[in-house]
Structure 1
């Protein structure tokens, strides 16, 4: 739409609104109809009460509270209408009044911010100036227009004659990025939650040739993320603007110049053009004498608040804005926010700063929202229910409060308003004691409650911590429980998408195939069931199940088909990428990885130690998983556990490397490039260019690492070209690994090619269940079968195969339960230790 066409539509709507000023309630939406009404009302002097268009309850509440003269909204069919409730106005409207915005999201609170025409114009001009917006820019509407930040994006671009990409799609929707590229988008705006979504969708790897700037406001973005995005922008050709503002200032008060974002990511920056700051004394704030309440002055400061229709007649009641934020001015002239004065809570006589608690928890790898609630501190944190007791102690010790005064609720996702800001009212509500809930029904897993119960059961999570927004990966799921979960879901819901493990439960519920809840051809009412979708089995699961059977059968031997262990090395790399290199925060990634290493290493060391002691066949180095490093010669039995050693070595080294924030950021930016580089490095070991290979060449960790890296790269490959490159590498470099064994080479190439190219294989329900048990127990079958099959192989080789599988499955069940308990105890001690450190960081002044 051209500006000429827009102006014509605005003029027509303004004419319909008429010359008599009326209060217009506008259900905001990122669509042309809503924008036209908004601009028409502003242009002809009608005050606009802008409310969220997707919240009927808020529209109804504010309609009842303010009795608007005109209501502009879309009906249930999406048809836009102007409901003119009266020809004149029921209100006395101050001549300066232009816009009414809420500061409380979608709560329907009658407290509104009164903004003038000067406020709106001045703030739009100021933002356009420091962002350098020109008429060639095109901004996407990534935020709702009833939110002051989203509205400021619209105003600041229109005031420069720039373009708007009106869309209500989320940045997590692939279609959004198609729109953005097609329209040659130059500007992207987001709140902290938006950046969480950008991490999840691989924003760092996107090709956005026209992007010029990314802006961030709406809450504090962690300094390390600011620095990371600033560096990403520098390399990609766009600038990051971190901004600070409030609705009471029509949106913006400060911004951090892009060239300082990487150096000073903790600062909010300098006042916007036309504005100024001063620090008002704030005694007893606990942050030092150089700190005060940040007070802002400028032409964008609101007229004042409105709480009833009578307030619409008021003129200016506010001259400067007391932000409620505690700040200091650094020697370089940049302002830094250190706390929130208005959020201070007095609990049991102690003055607590919830924002400071959030910051300190963040330093310990815990993302949380905190709020005072009477005589208790309410804390909602990302995590699992098993962490709640430790987190409560951590916070209590840090704040000097008794544990009974701290209420903690661990959640998969923190509560946010529609704008993406923290929902502190929900934090207080969610943490309040509730009557003990009955467990979820175990029967029908096709509804949300049943799905949540299934997740809680398989992932061993308290039921209360599993919400409809939880994901398998977000709840700490890994390859050891992935198999059972995927098969149970596939059985209940039908064919699953390949990315089901990253999708929230509510999305999976919508995939349910009618008639899946039983194998009977008729439903409960005896009517025929709809036809069921054919079953399928993920290729990775199939390879693990088939591979372990081939390994055990070839060792007995019932048959001779070798090479499956090398295929499983590639599958391990594939799963490493899927379950450990997620979009989670850096600390959460590491925590998840070390837990998985423990779940592999501990049962392995226990079993192998028993084998060393009881059989006398193995050197003690095997019990410590050191045989590959010490090279115990060519004896076959000494190399029985090379696979376990290699897997643990790979994960340990990668865990250490990923602990370096720079390397973690590098992997996130180059998800395919990093493992491809590791494949190249691994080929040095594959051809033993450094002469580090052991006597049994093809079993050395350095020799087979390239297969692990190739599986990792396969999980990250997103195009035919990338998959073809991996397949060619596999086909060219596998020959010669096993000497003159073409069948073994062919098996490895075939198995890993399937992993690269074929996400799922056709299957049957009973076959899926068998494959699931074998795949989830494959590591433990590998561990135990060396001590089982020798007892039976001479007389009953087939029985030796089945006995080896059965014993391994039994050990898997036992080991999983024991390791889970041990990891919980270890985590608890770690959090208690962290609590002591946290307590030392709290200044004494907060304990008065």
Structure 2
């Protein structure tokens, strides 16, 4: 163990107090002066002690995390910085490096978890900071940075940006990312202020804060500038803005020139920069006055640094080679295990992996890569690794990358959205930057090797940038519609209904609203990105001409159920048909191409949307009428009984559906079953339906032991509906239809009832859409979207109205159910704001009482 000298090794942090009462940190809740910040840093540094220890900090753009970061540097403790919003990365790094101190949030509070009093590691005296390479997360390979690296890089950036103590920089990038961290270090070095926020530049509150606090600088990666274009940055009045910086990946030259010209017109400077985590952030910058003339260049080395070009055998052009950087900000080396933390400097210069050309004017330009790795939006991606992961999932594909997207060429027979999601997960990228092409045969060279040039040639145009003037109805209008109906704060034009968590209930309302805008929708609209829907829309909507069969069947089934219970007529089988439709919709909306955990979350949310309204209504109705027991309220009547009452059976369908959904969700939660479902999307539900027929025919003789819950008897209908959604070929559709035709008869001993269910299955499988009219569509949508509430409430409505008129009882039951559904949706949309307000109030109260780390910033 090494005890630090009194002086400490972080000069720009030690000098915080010297800036006195100047503002250091500005948040939406208040501000901290440098003197106050220094006092709080000293307090936390004292908590960490004088013995050097390995500290892991789950970083975020909050005052507490900033103080903890500076405290670790002040105390000379090597700091492993990981993203605070990535719990898997925090756990993985804690497991891989066994930190002595873990600083992270628990239930919203920042906790300093001292895992041992001293240290369990040998830590090199120069080691200051450990960061993931090139913005990646969760990988055990880390960049080892020294105190000298941090100081030198901050000084260099402050010099060429001309940072002044009057500057105020917004934290548009996360603290754990080397680019975002360099903004913090360089501004604190000069006594400038940080406008500390985690808000997106698409958030109106961000710009209100930026203007109110007279922000002078913005930093962004290429995607940030996509967002700036979307929000109309070029039309904003920002009188105090002095400069805008860009790094984290290549920005297209035409956009560099456009932003440089925009800055020249509005009085601010545009700096294009080039760097890597291995160089503590920055290696080169393009002087703003040259940005319009040489927008393709990365510029010149930063102050204190230098470049050389290492000759490459396959690049004989003059003044071209691998770009190698040297300077005091070059890392100590990599760490791949805890033992590497004892190492000193293992590298003297940094081979960047980029092929560069030096122009006659002395400016450097990146013209290629020396290896297969590509850097997309600042993240390093190995296309070969993505191919391997896809192959494991049963997808043969070739992948190539540009600096803006990953291109995937896959063989026919796969769903493009599934391939897109799998590739995005393997690369650690958002799905919006993955483009998929399905080919009859993958391109190969004469020697049989992959023809990656042919893959790259599939598309040369850059991906579309979100815009307000897209053809058709317009992406912005559709984004607002999706945000409103799905209660999503942010909606990207590259997301689909399924991406945004849409389910079978919201599907009905969304489809009707979209048809009003776009006319007839494509069959796969729910998995189609918003932008593509807007592009494919006709100039004038053609009107409602079709109705989706699943929606029609839900509407028909609920009318049949209520009408038969009153009875106005006797057409039984509606509830059993609804089970099949539920399985059909479960496959469409819950079994998406998302990761297993996201699937499970979606399924649990869907179950909650059934359980919570049901329990609430049964409790209310039971309290008023006394009709229901505790087992009804807990949805356990079919398991615990009683089974012989007049009203206990009324909610058997809801109980059966919930039990089946819980069992199916638990099944998919098993990693092996999740993999099987992805590989055999039709085979698995068909096998489950076959397994369910064991209890449908009661082969084990369960009935001899007493009452058998309905869910056990009818679960095969749900599985068969699931299989119907996955039936993509004629043979598969025939298999589903034949299974229904052979197994439904005999279930009730009522031919008409069984024919009704089989006919519904046939329509679901063979006729995805039915001819319709606008009025019919609207009525069916209202009934289908409100089917749960109609089912719940009709038991209370029909005894009141039925004795007077059965037809009126049917109409009243449907109307009351639709009205309750509308009220429930409105309440659900308002609930998050009430919950957030309550949480904020509770949190503020706790902070006031306990004096948390960031109290003085309020």
The two structures have a TM-score, normalised by structure 2, of 0.48
TM-score normalised per structure 1 = 0.48
